Amino acid sequence: MANVELIPHLFRTEYRKIVSVLCKRFGFDQMETAEDIASDTFLTATQTWGLEGTPPNPTAWLYAVAKNKAKNHLQRHELFESKISPQLKATPTVHEPDLDLSPQNINDSQLQMMFALCHPVIPAEAQVGLALRILCGFGIEEIADAFLTQKETINKRLLRAKEKLRDEKIDIVMPDPAQIDVRLDPVLTTLYLVFNEGYYSVSSNNTLRKDLCLEAMRLCTMLVENKATNKPRVNALLALMCFHASRFDARLNTRGELVLYDAQDTNLWNTDLISKGGYFLHCAATGTTLSKYHLEAGIAYWNTQHQDTREKWESMLQLYNQLLQIEYTPIAALNRTYALWKANGKAQAIREAEKLKLTSNHFYYALLGDLYTNIDNGKAKQHFEEALMLARTETDKQALRKKLDLLS
């Protein structure tokens, strides 16, 4: 792999590891320093490898340079001179920072960072942004693209979040066993939002969308593989991600246009991911708590069963009914209406849909357009036109224009 491809790849996979270990070593007080050292490590790699060629073990080279840069930072830092140096003189056996970049410590550091960055002292959108930056290695431009906002907005958001973590003196440690259950919920919420940002993103960057999903799945897998966090709802969330990701390649056609569920090529569905989703859903079937992730994973499972049977839609309808009792959201209510249509017919679905009055949501009008098609095509056209005015992406607009063309 040429340097022009290798360094961005290594930045994506190794930057987050170096920053996590450095933050664990220095604390949130010097998070920017940790990021600077990691970034400078890759800058040095770009300059050096361009002149001398790629080293035999690029990852080990990066870790060695990061260690040296961390050591140099401590040696010249005023804090080192005024506070740490006297302690080092008293204990002469300690001469270098204990920067442990072993696989086990990297894994532990990332898990600890996950809980620290998802601390409830900072808002959810900042948790997601920091997770993308620190745990996933995304650049500021990529995060801004994912959220469809300006780089300045993201920078300010992350800066405020970092300041809050410093001010509150949040430690980068795993919570006590008694606190794991409570602290796990914001972590799962963050991973859920990261995945959804990729899966339902209105960004035109298809690679970015997939990367967001894969990063959320990677972090969720780390939780499943850790004994303290391998809880039923964690497995349920990972199952949900696997089921959704299995249909990723079928959701867009070769022109980048959205392909609706009924029109998807099931040959493009990833059967390995469907099987993995089934495994994790089975692992989730323990304990006495039924989380929203269990129910959404069950719905996602039925969406991977391409046979259009009454059993399928009735099962999904019951799952949506339970989901709305646990956590009502307008989108879940709208999706329930689609399942209601498939299970019980259009007439009942129209009555339920019109009660929702989601007049700022283009999916609401698109569903009403589908429901009224061949019942009252005039109303169907009106709803599709409303949806077209509200649609935010060209992909959605193209799909709606096709529906209007068919009516015409």
Dihedrals φ, ψ of 252, to 5°? -125, 145
Residues 140, 43 share a domain: no
When pLDDT is averaged across residues 322-338 and rounded to a whole number, the result is 95
Quote the pLDDT of residue 260.
78
Dihedrals φ, ψ of 376, to 5°? -150, 90
Residues 43, 126 share a domain: no
Torsion-angle region of 108 (φ positive above 0: left; ψ -120 to 50: alpha; else: beta): alpha
Give Cα separations from 189 to 128, 216, 260 (angstroms): 9, 11, 27
Residues 139, 83 share a domain: no
Instruction: Give the whole-angstrom CA distance, residue 72 versus residue 321.
Output: 59
Residue 384 lies in a domain: yes
354 pLDDT exceeds 90?
yes
89 pLDDT exceeds 60?
no
When pLDDT is averaged across residues 131-136 and rounded to a whole number, the result is 90
| Domain end residue (candidates: 212, 234, 256) | 212
Percent of the chain with pLDDT over 70: 92
Residues 150, 128 share a domain: yes
Residue 62 lies in a domain: yes
Residue 96 lies in a domain: yes
125 pLDDT exceeds 50?
yes
> Of the candidates 315, 310, 322, 290, which has an alpha carbon nearest to the alpha carbon of residue 300?
315
Residue 239 lies in a domain: no
Residue position matching structure tokens 């003196």: 169
| Domain end residue (candidates: 100, 131, 154) | 100
Residue 243 lies in a domain: no
Quote the pLDDT of residue 94.
42
Residues 192, 114 share a domain: yes
When pLDDT is averaged across residues 248-261 and rounded to a whole number, the result is 81
Residue 20 lies in a domain: yes
Q: Report the domain count for the chain.
A: 3
Instruction: Give the whole-angstrom CA distance, residue 133 versus residue 122.
Output: 15
Quote the pLDDT of residue 178.
85
Residue range(s) defining the domain that contains residue 26? 16-100
Of 178-187, 192-201, 267-276, least confident by mean pLDDT is: 192-201
Residues 111, 50 share a domain: no
| Domain end residue (candidates: 212, 246, 277) | 212
**Residues in Cβ contact with 300 at an 8 Å cutoff, skipping those fewer than 6 apart:** 239, 240, 243, 244, 277
232-246 vs 271-284: helix crossing angle, rounded to 10: 160
Residues 128, 187 share a domain: yes
Residue 249 lies in a domain: no
Residues 167, 120 share a domain: yes
Quote the pLDDT of residue 83.
57
Residues 167, 206 share a domain: yes
Q: What is the mean pLDDT of the chain?
A: 89
Residue type, 47: Q
Residues 86, 179 share a domain: no
Residue 313 lies in a domain: no
When pLDDT is averaged across residues 367-371 and rounded to a whole number, the result is 97
Instruction: Give the whole-angstrom CA distance, residue 359 versus residue 47.
Output: 54
